[in-house]
Amino acid sequence: MSKGSKKSDKLNNYRKKIDELDRRLIETLAERHKTVQGLFANKLEEAKNIRDKNREKELMGRIRELAVEAGVDPYFAEKLFQDIINQSVRYQTYSLVDHQNENGGVRKVKVSFQGVKGAFSNQAALRHFSERYDEVECIGFKTFEQAAEAVEKEQVDFAILPIENTTAGSINDTYDLLAKKSLHIVGEEVIHIEHCLMAPGRIKLENIRRILSHPQAIAQCSRFLADLPRCRVESYHDTAMAAQKVKEDNDLSQAAIASAYAAELYGLKILQKDIANQPENFTRFVVVSREPVSVDAQISCKTSLVIATPHEKGALIKCLKVLDEFGINMTKLESRPRPRKPWQYQFFLDVEGNINDPNVEKGLKELEGKTVYMKILGSYPKQSGNSN
Catalytic residue among 93, 283, 303, 371: 283
Confirm if 84 and 29 have CB atoms less than 8 A apart: yes
Neighbours of 226 (CB within 10 A): 10
Confirm if 367 and 316 have CB atoms less than 8 A apart: no
Confirm if 122 and 140 have CB atoms less than 8 A apart: yes
Rg (CA), the chain: 24
What are the start-end ranges of the E strands in the chain? Answer: 108-114, 135-141, 158-165, 169-170, 184-192, 196-199, 210-213, 232-235, 254-258, 269-272, 282-289, 301-308, 330-337, 345-352, 373-381
**Residues in the chain, overall count:** 388
Confirm if 188 and 302 have CB atoms less than 8 A apart: yes
> Is residue 129 annotated as part of the catalytic site, yes or no?
no
Output the CA torsion sign for 119, 123, 128, 129: positive
SS3 278: coil
> Is residue 348 annotated as part of the catalytic site, yes or no?
no
The C-alpha atoms of residue 195 and residue 255 are separated, in whole angstroms, by 13
Confirm if 299 and 97 have CB atoms less than 8 A apart: yes
Give the residue from 312, 289, 286, 199 showing the smallest Cα distance to 249: 199
Provide the total of helices (H) and of strands (E) in the chain, helices listed first. 12, 15
Which DSSP symbol is given to 329? P
Confirm if 363 and 291 have CB atoms less than 8 A apart: no
Catalytic residue among 129, 141, 285, 347: 285
Angle in degrees, CA 236, 250, 254, rounded to 5: 50
Catalytic positions? 283, 285
